[in-house]
Amino acid sequence: EIVLTQSPGTLSLSPGERATLSCRASQNVYSSYLAWYQQKPGQAPRLLIYGASSRATGIPDRFSGSGSGTDFTLTISRLEPEDFVVYYCQQFGSSPWTFGQGTKVEIK
């Protein structure tokens, strides 16, 4: 099973700042098989990024993804108030599909 480790666990920033979230895999993940989700309290996750770097439909361009192999990054260029929630990475290159433990972005 591929273990995904997200860091930091909590990121404290101010609106307008840049957020950089990390996802490290225990084994190589083919880039096409790495996704990022945003989850607001009481809601289902929402797909932000697929294929490591492609934005899903309707996702603002302040969200971007990068990386390959075992190291992937989600960047939010300028934090908006609604971005202060939890983010998960997910791999589906090797079954079982697995998620990272999440990074919470909180207001500083």
Pick from 2, 25, 35, 74 the residue near another protein by CB under 8 A.
35
- Which stretch in 18-26, 41-49, 60-68, 71-79 sits in contact with another protein by CB under 8 A? 41-49
**Coil/strand/helix, residue 39:** strand
Pick from 17, 31, 62, 102 the residue near another protein by CB under 8 A.
102
- DSSP letter string over 65-81? EEEEEEEEEEEESS--G
Is residue 60 reached through a cis peptide bond, with omega within 30 degrees of 0 on the bond before it? no
Pick from 13, 17, 31, 45 the residue near another protein by CB under 8 A.
45
Near another protein in 4-33, by CB under 8 A: 33
Instruction: Report the nearest approach of another protein to the CB of residue 37 (Å).
Output: 8
In 3D space, the residue among 59, 39, 40 whose CA is nearest the CA of residue 49 turns out to be 59
Alpha carbons 74 and 44: distance in angstroms, whole number: 19
**Coil/strand/helix, residue 32:** helix
Please report, as ranges, the residues that interact with another protein according to CB under 8 A: 1, 33, 35, 37, 43-47, 50, 56-57, 88, 90, 92, 95-102
